[in-house]
């Protein structure tokens, strides 16, 4: 049996909610030798994790999946049957197969999935007018994350050989069929209306931009250049809204009909779930 002496978090997290959750889980394990690794921004580096390290992997859900860019970046990480916790963070709608896909990826990279969790983060499209799980993860979520970290640490210390889990066994979010159908009907109506959609986040008032560079520095795909912040490269932008959430002057916006739609259909806040 290998003794776990270290822990680390490995995250892709443009608007920081997955990062927050992962780091609190890591803290909850109580393992003092803890290193956070962030794969959100380039340059992306290769990383090999020893079998004595417990890893917390976390990523957001985009369209029911792990964002392809997160997958690409996490493929730089390899393990030696190192134990891993797999966490997906979603904006209160649903995560569909994202957790299973993430667990499969982590296994493929040489890790043993020993625990999993689904947490709620403020939706990237949440606005003041149309809040969607605004402020999540909140105090209760983070308390749950810390407790979960403690439970994983207990599992590791109690078991002579740490058991792998089947992430399909995790409790699914409570959701009525009516909510899903209503959402689909509204999406079809929006798509049918063929209203022009803002292709990427952009600046409302270009004359107010001070070219501070915060948006460009926090863009995971380098879709914004410092000095030319009013232009977002459509071919690179993943609509993560990191630039919107981090603009100190709040002049970057992403107007999408999905803000209102998600805010209306998913007003009832979901709860995190964990599996050991
Ligand atoms: C392009 C895009 C697609 C998304 N798709 C989903 C989704 O399918 N289900 C959901 O509940 N939230 C979805 N979200 C919301 C994010 O999962 C949520 O905001 C998450 O907390 C962001 O994580 P981060 O803060 O680590 O970047 C989506 C967000 C974006 C930008």
Q: Evaluate: CB of 40 within 6 angstroms of ligand 1.
A: no
Q: Evaluate: CB of 67 within 6 angstroms of ligand 1.
A: no
161, pLDDT greater than 80: no
Q: Tell me the pLDDT band of 53, cut-offs 50, 70 and 90.
A: very high
Q: Are 199 and 234 in contact (CB under 8 A)?
A: yes
CA 124 to centroid of ligand 1, rounded, Å: 6
User: Which of the listed residues 73, 91, 201 should we mutate to test ligand 1's pocket, taking the one with most ligand atoms within 8 A of CB?
Assistant: 91
Q: Evaluate: CB of 94 within 6 angstroms of ligand 1.
A: yes
How many residues are recorded in the chain?
276
CB atoms within 10 A of CB 34: 17
pLDDT tens digit sequence for 147-160: 999 999 999 988 77
The pLDDT of 170-193, averaged and rounded, is 92
- Residue 160 pLDDT: 73
Query: Which atom belonging to ligand 1 lies closest to the Cα atom of 240?
Result: 31
Q: Evaluate: CB of 135 within 6 angstroms of ligand 1.
A: no
Q: Evaluate: CB of 218 within 6 angstroms of ligand 1.
A: no
Query: Which atom belonging to ligand 1 lies closest to the Cα atom of 16?
Result: 25
Q: Above pLDDT 90, what percent of the chain? A: 89
2, pLDDT greater than 80: no
CA 157 to centroid of ligand 1, rounded, Å: 34
Q: Evaluate: CB of 137 within 6 angstroms of ligand 1.
A: no
CA 90 to centroid of ligand 1, rounded, Å: 5
83, pLDDT greater than 70: yes
Distance of CA 76 to the CA centre of its chain: 18
Q: Tell me the pLDDT band of 1, cut-offs 50, 70 and 90.
A: low
pLDDT tens digit sequence for 204-258: 888 999 999 999 999 999 999 988 898 899 999 999 999 999 999 999 999 999 9
Phi-psi region of 38 (alpha: psi -120 to 50; beta: other; left: phi over 0): beta
Q: Evaluate: CB of 16 within 6 angstroms of ligand 1.
A: yes
The pLDDT of 55-63, averaged and rounded, is 98
CA 2 to centroid of ligand 1, rounded, Å: 36
- Residue 205 pLDDT: 86
233 three-class SS: coil
Query: Going from the N-terminus, what domains does the chain have, and what CATH number goes with each?
Result: 6-174+269-275 (3.40.50.360), 202-255 (3.30.70.20)
Q: Tell me the pLDDT band of 20, cut-offs 50, 70 and 90.
A: very high
DSSP string, 78-138: EESSEEEEEEEEE-SS--TTHHHHHHHHHHHTTEEEEEEEEEE---TT--SSS-SSTT-S-
Q: Evaluate: CB of 201 within 6 angstroms of ligand 1.
A: no
**Mean pLDDT score of the chain, rounded to an integer?**
95
């Amino acid at each position: 049996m290998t003794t776990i002496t270290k822990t680390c978090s490995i995250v892709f997290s443009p608007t920081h909610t997955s990062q927050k959750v992962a780091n609190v889980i890591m803290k909850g394990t109580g393992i003092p030798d803890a290193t956070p690794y962030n794969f959100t921004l380039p340059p992306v580096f290769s990383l090999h994790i020893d079998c004595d390290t417990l890893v917390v992997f976390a990523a957001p859900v985009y369209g029911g999946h792990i964002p392809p860019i997160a997958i690409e970046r996490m493929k730089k990480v390899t393990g030696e049957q190192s134990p891993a916790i797999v966490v997906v963070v979603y904006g209160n709608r649903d995560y569909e197969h994202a957790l299973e896909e993430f667990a499969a990826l982590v296994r493929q990279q040489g890790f043993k999935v020993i625990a999993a969790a689904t947490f709620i983060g403020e939706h990237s499209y949440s606005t003041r007018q149309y809040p969607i799980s605004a402020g999540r993860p909140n105090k209760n979520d983070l308390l749950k994350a810390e407790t979960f970290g403690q439970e994983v640490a207990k599992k590791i210390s109690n078991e002579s050989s740490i058991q792998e889990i089947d992430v399909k066994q995790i409790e699914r979010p409570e959701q009525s069929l009516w909510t899903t159908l209503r959402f689909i009907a509204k999406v079809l109506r929006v798509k049918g209306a063929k209203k022009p959609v803002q292709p990427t986040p952009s600046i409302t008032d270009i004359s107010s931009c001070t070219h501070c560079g915060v948006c460009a520095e926090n863009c995971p795909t380098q879709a914004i250049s410092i000095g030319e912040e009013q232009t977002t490269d459509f071919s690179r932008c993943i609509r993560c809204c990191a630039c919107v959430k981090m603009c100190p002057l709040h002049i970057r916006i992403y107007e999408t009909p999905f803000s209102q739609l998600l805010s209306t259909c998913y007003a009832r806040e979901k709860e995190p779930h964990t599996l050991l």
